[in-house]
Amino acid sequence: MTTLYKKEIMAVNVDTVYQRVLSIANKEQRGYITPQEFNLLANQAQLEIFEQYFYDLNQFSRLPGNDTRHADMVTTLEEKISLFEQTADIVGTSTMTLPTDLYKLSTILYKGVEAEKVTQKDLLYIKKSPLTHPTADRPIFIRDNDSIEVYYDNTFTKTTATADVDVHYIKKPVTAKWAYVYVDTNSSAYNSAPLFDSSNKVDFELHISEEPNLVIKILELAGVIIKQPDLYQIADKEEIQTIQQEKQ
């Protein structure tokens, strides 16, 4: 798969989030979150925040808009989602493989013309009626999990020229990673402190404004793991206040 167009995403620094999470978790000796635990929780938190965009967009789209562009939640959510919009060609012959980082499929283009998605059942009816046969100006495609088939003429020939097909989609966030090495390489991992390895880190692939939400969400998840319900309650209270502010 060759990426034709890729947006630069404003990343959230993974070390900044980790240090803030540790600072709150360690306050009043509530517990310690290991780097392994953090990475696991961090990516769960990132995915939950990312997936919530689409539910929130559906909810806020039903409400009257705000005249102030930067305060309108639909505009804000669309901006955050747009950071993950990608355009790429695809590989394969008659059956073409979709990008591995695909989260939601937006549009399939055949030679610049948008193809209509149909089901296998739809295809049976389309074949029976000459008026509905696909053409170069009205292509169709069928999706089967991670692959598609594109039809563009009345013989129902599957296109084999991958250069003719472009996919517009929303990608998944990359897997964030707080990379580390041990200060004392001669001692046990349990007896030496992990040192941040900036050369191998992977930042969160979310809008920069999501930094506080990431801290809150990770603390919520960490509160369950380290069995500190008060930590969960603190984070949960902060999240509720944030949601209330957004919906006012």
DSSP string, 108-163: EEETTEEPEE--HHHHHHHHH-GGG--BTTB-EEEEETTEEEEE-STT-PBP--GG
The number of folded domains in the chain is: 2
CB atoms near residue 33 (< 10 Å): 24
Same-domain check for residues 183 and 240: yes
- Of 213, 207, 210, the closest CA to residue 236 belongs to 213
Report residue 221's pLDDT band, with 50, 70 and 90 as the boundaries. Answer: confident
Q: Does residue 243 lie in a domain region?
A: yes
Report residue 29's pLDDT band, with 50, 70 and 90 as the boundaries. Answer: low
The pLDDT of 149-159, averaged and rounded, is 87
Q: In the prediction, which pLDDT does 94 show?
A: 66
Same-domain check for residues 185 and 215: yes
Same-domain check for residues 92 and 164: yes
The pLDDT of 227-244, averaged and rounded, is 54
Residue ending a domain, among 171, 188, 222, is: 171
Same-domain check for residues 123 and 180: no
| Inter-residue contact 33 to 21 (CB < 8 Å) | yes
Residue 236 CA to residue 102 CA, distance in Å, equals 31
pTM assigned to the model: 0.78
Q: In the prediction, which pLDDT does 243 show?
A: 47
Q: Does residue 7 lie in a domain region?
A: no
Same-domain check for residues 143 and 103: yes
- Least reliable range by pLDDT among 64-73, 116-125, 154-163, 237-246: 237-246
Q: In the prediction, which pLDDT does 174 show?
A: 95
Q: Does the structure show a pLDDT above 90 at 17? A: yes
pLDDT tens, position by position, 69-104: 555 788 889 999 999 999 987 766 668 889 999 999
Plot region of 206 (φ>0 → left; ψ -120 to 50 → alpha; else → beta): beta
Residue ending a domain, among 118, 138, 171, is: 171
Q: In the prediction, which pLDDT does 35 show?
A: 92
User: According to the per-residue pLDDT averaged within each range, which of 9-18, 134-143, 190-199 is highest?
Assistant: 134-143
Helix (H) or strand (E) holding 247: helix 229-247
Indicate the average pLDDT of the chain: 82
Q: Does residue 231 lie in a domain region?
A: yes
Same-domain check for residues 68 and 184: yes
- Least reliable range by pLDDT among 26-35, 113-122, 163-172, 183-192: 183-192
Q: In the prediction, which pLDDT does 186 show?
A: 60
Same-domain check for residues 186 and 160: no
- Give the residue numbers spanning the domain of 116: 87-171
| Inter-residue contact 97 to 91 (CB < 8 Å) | yes
Residue ending a domain, among 122, 145, 171, is: 171
Q: Does the structure show a pLDDT above 50 at 240? A: no
CA distances from 189 to 36, 67, 119, 163 (A): 12, 55, 54, 50
Q: Identify the sign of the CA torsion 42, 21, 233, 204.
A: negative
The three-state secondary structure class of 58 is helix
Same-domain check for residues 131 and 178: no
